[in-house]
Structure 1
Amino acid sequence: MKDADFSDLLLIRKGEKDLTLGGGDSALAPVVSIGEWEARKEALKELYMLTLGQAPYHDIDPDLEIISEEDCGAYLRRKLMYNTGADERISAYMLLPKGLKGKVPAVLCIHPTTSMGKEQTIGNDPSSNGHDRAYALHLVEQGFITFAFDLMSAGERCFSGLKDFDTAPFYEKYPKWSSRGKDLWDVSQALDVVQSMPEVDAEKIGSIGHSQGGGITIHAMAVEPRIKAGVSSCGEWPMRISKNPFNAARTGWWVGRPLLRPFCVTGKEFPVQMHELLAMAAPNAIMNISALNDCKYTVEEKEFTGEAFRNMEENARKIYQLYGRPEAFKSITHLNGHSFLKEQRKAAYEFLKQHLFK
C-alpha cells in the first residue's frame, strides 16, 4: 500500500486579484499566514457542514432543571434535565469537586459505543473496561467539573426495542439530517448548559472521549470554538488509509453520515478528513491518541500506519505553528488496540490540565 501523505492540508488556491471572478491564472500553493489558513478553514467548514445534512430546528432553549444532588464523598453528583431538541428532553450528570473556591474549568465527557451511555463515564460500569472509560469520575477527582450525557440512541436515549446505537428511528423522523449532525447539535446544547452554571469558568471548557466519544470530540472542535482543549482516544481514523470507509456512512445500525455514501461507492475521497478536522481545531488545544493496530489493521502493519500518523502529525502541527502554539497539538500512538489504558489516560488528563488550568 502506498504511504499516505497529508501535505494537502496546507494548500489553498491563489492567483491574481480577480481570482474569484475567474480571471487570470491560478494554482494551489502552500498556506503561509493565519489569514490564508482561516480562509481555507472556512471553506473546509462549509464542506463539512454539507456532509451533516439539514438540521430541522435552531435555537432550542435548554430550559435547564436540577433534579437532584448527591454527596459522593470527594465530589457532588448533580442530575440535570434539559431540552436538546424540539421535542426531546434528556438527563445528564454534572460532577463537581467539593469545596470549590471560585469558578473552575469543565470538561464534556462523551461516552464510547456502549449501551450504558453516560453511566460508564461516571464510574458505574463494573466490567473490565469500566474503569478505563470512567473519565468523568477521574477528572472530577483531579479538580475539573465534568459533564456527561447520553448520545442519541444510547443509554436512556436508546430507541425502544432496538439495540443501542441503532439509529433507524432517527432517520425515519429526520431523513435529511445525520446522526453525526445530531451529535454535534447535542454537544452545542451541552455547552450552553455547562456555560450557564455558576461554578464553571465559561471560557475554559474541554471535551474528552474514547471511540465514538473521541470522534465526536474531534468533529466538534473543528466547528465549535467554545471547546478550548480536547482529547480523542481511538475516535477517528484517516479515511485516506481506511480499509472500509462505509464505517462513516453505514446502511444499517449506527448510520453516521449518509451523504458520504457516494464517496464510498466511487472511491472519491471524503471532502473533509481527519488531518483537516484536527487542524481546524487550531488554535485551541487538541490531543489525538490512536492505536496503530485499530480499524482492521494489525500489529504487523504498524510501520505503515505509524508512518501515516507521523505524516499527519507533522502537517497538522504546521497549522498550530502559524498561531505560535505548536504545543497545543499532540499526537500519541500505541499498539494496545482499541483501548484507553492508564498510560494514555494519564497523558490525556495532564494535557487537559495544562491547557485549561492556566
Structure 2
Amino acid sequence: MTAKRLPFALAFCFLLNLLLASFNAPLNAQERPVSDPPVIESSWDDLLEGVTDKESWLAHKQVLKQRYLDLIRDQYKPEKPLLDLQVHEETIVEDTYIRRLISYQVEEDERAHAYLGIPLKRDGKLPAIVALHGTYKQGARRAAGLEENSNKAWLDHLCRLGYVVIAPEHFVSGHRIPPEGPYDTTRFHQKHPEWTSVGKFTYEHSIAIDVITAMEEVDADNIGVIGHSLGGHGTMFLAAYDDRVKAAAGNCSASFFRHNSGVTHWSRDHWYIYFKHLRPGFLEGELPNIDFHEILALIAPRAYLDVSAMNDGNPLTQRQRVLMLMKVMDVYELEEKPENFAFFVHGRAHSVAHESRQLLYGWMDSHLKPAAATATKLVEE
C-alpha cells in the first residue's frame, strides 16, 4: 500500500468499527443485567401464612378476631349498664359549636366523663368522631383545647371542620384519677383481676360510640376514631373491636410485641399495666399469639391510616413498623379495598405536627364526608 493510500485505509477501518458497534449496541443493551425488584420477606409475612385467596383469608380472620378478644380478655367485661346520660356544662365556642361536658355509666357503679362538641351550622345529620387523648392527666380537657398542647385539641379542630366529636376521658384520668395518681391501674386490677386495661378502655370507647350514635345530629353510618400516643393505639384497638367504626387514624401509636426490646412495658409490674396476664410469659421470652399486624388486619376493609415517626423510640423497631404495614396492605388488597389503607412515616418524633394533622383530618374527610366535600373543580372562564 502506498503512503498516499494509508490515511484513507485508516479512516475506512475507523468508520467500519463505528458501524459494527452500532449494529451490536442493541445486543449489548439486552445483555446488561436488569434491575427487577427483589421480593421483600419479613417475619410479618405470617399474617397470610396458609392464605391462598380472599375466602381463606376471611376464615383466618375469624381466628384472629377470637385471639384478639382473648388478648384483651373481653370475656371478663361487665354487663353493659344503661347510659343514664347527664349534661354538666354547656358553652357555645366562638359561635361555631356547642361544647358540653357530659357523663354516662360504663359500669353499674362507675361513670365516665367526656366532652361533646356539636357544630352549630349543619344541614342534616353529620359524621361523628371519637377523639382519644394521650397519657395526660386531664387528657379530655386537652382534646377540647382547654389545656396544654393545642396541636392535640382534636375536638376543637374537628368540630370546626363539621364533625360531631366526643372526647372521652381515659378511665384513670380526669374525673377518675385514682388516689395513687394519674394512670395508675392498681385499683382497676383489684376490682377486675381477670380483665385488662386495654379491654377496659376499648370497651368504654365502644360505649362512647353508643352515646354519639344515639344522637339525632349524628349520621350513625359515618363514625370515625382518631388519637395520639395512648389514644393512637387506642384507635387501633377500638377499630378492630367495633365494626361501627368506618374510618380510623392513629398517630404515634406504641410499638408492637415482636422486634421490641421494650416489650415488657406492655406488662409492667407498676403504674399503668396494659396486659397484666402477659407478664409471666414476657419474662420467659414468650410473646402472645397475636400482634399488631394481625389486629390492624381485622379492621380491613374499613379505612385505617397509620402515622408514625422513624425517631419515636427505637429506630430499628420503627423500621420494622414499615415492614409490618406493608404486609397489612396485602390484606387490603385481598379484601379489594387498597384505597382504604395508608401510612405516613416522618422524622418529627412523638408529635402531631401540622402536616400530620392535615393528613389525619383529610383522611377523615375522604372517608366520612360526601364525595363533594373533597372534590376539586376546574376554574370557570
Structure-1-length-normalised TM-score: 0.88
Q: Structure 1 155/306 Cα, relative in aligned 2: closer, same or farther at 3 Å?
A: closer
User: 2:46 aligns to what?
Assistant: 8
Q: Does 1:61 align with 2:82?
A: yes
User: 2:97 aligns to what?
Assistant: 75
CA distance in 2, matches of 1:118, 1:178: 22
What CA RMSD, in Å, does the superposition of the two structures yield over aligned residues?
A: 1.6
User: 1:22 aligns to what?
Assistant: none
Q: How does 1:144-155 map to 2 (within 5 A)?
A: 144-155=163-174
Contact kept, 8 Å, 1:317 with 1:326, in 2: the verdict is yes
Q: How does 1:318-329 map to 2 (within 5 A)?
A: 318-329=330-341
User: 1:141 aligns to what?
Assistant: 160
For structure 1, which segment, 147-156 or 64-73, has the greater mean C-alpha deviation from structure 2 after superposition? 64-73
Q: 1:41 aligns with which of 61, 64, 85?
A: 61
Q: Does 1:194 align with 2:212?
A: yes
Q: Does 1:232 align with 2:232?
A: no
Deviation at 1:307, TM superposition (A): 4.2
Letter in 2 for 1:338: H
Deviation at 1:225, TM superposition (A): 0.6
CA distance in 1, matches of 2:281, 2:346: 30
Q: Does 1:276 align with 2:294?
A: yes
Letter in 2 for 1:57: P
Deviation at 1:4, TM superposition (A): 4.9
SS for the counterpart of 1:6 is helix
Letter in 2 for 1:294: D
SS for the counterpart of 1:118 is helix
SS for the counterpart of 1:239 is coil
User: 2:234 aligns to what?
Assistant: 216
User: 1:264 aligns to what?
Assistant: 282
Q: Does 1 or 2 have the higher relative contact order (CA < 8 Å, sep 6+)? A: 1
SS for the counterpart of 2:273 is coil
SS for the counterpart of 1:101 is coil
CA distance in 1, matches of 2:60, 2:158: 35
Deviation at 1:306, TM superposition (A): 5.7
Q: Structure 1 31/187 Cα, relative in aligned 2: closer, same or farther at 3 Å?
A: farther
SS for the counterpart of 1:269 is coil
Contact kept, 8 Å, 2:80 with 2:106, in 1: the verdict is no
SS for the counterpart of 1:76 is strand
Bigger radius of gyration, 1 or 2?
2
CA distance in 1, matches of 2:324, 2:318: 10
Letter in 2 for 1:272: I
Q: 1:350 aligns with which of 347, 351, 362?
A: 362
Deviation at 1:56, TM superposition (A): 4.4
Contact kept, 8 Å, 1:291 with 1:334, in 2: the verdict is yes
Contact kept, 8 Å, 2:311 with 2:318, in 1: the verdict is no
Deviations for 1:66-123, whole angstroms, at most 9, x for unmatched residues?
3343111211112222111121122211111112111010000011000112001010
Deviation at 1:238, TM superposition (A): 2.8
For structure 1, which segment, 108-117 or 315-324, has the greater mean C-alpha deviation from structure 2 after superposition? 315-324
User: 1:19 aligns to what?
Assistant: none
SS for the counterpart of 1:240 is coil
What stretches of structure 2 of length at least 5 have no aligned partner? Answer: 1-40, 371-381
Letter in 2 for 1:324: E
Kindly indicate which of the two structures has a greater share of residues assigned to helix.
2
Percent identity, aligned pairs only? 31
User: 2:349 aligns to what?
Assistant: 337
What stretches of structure 1 of length at least 5 have no aligned partner? Answer: 12-28
How many residue pairs end up in the alignment?
A: 328
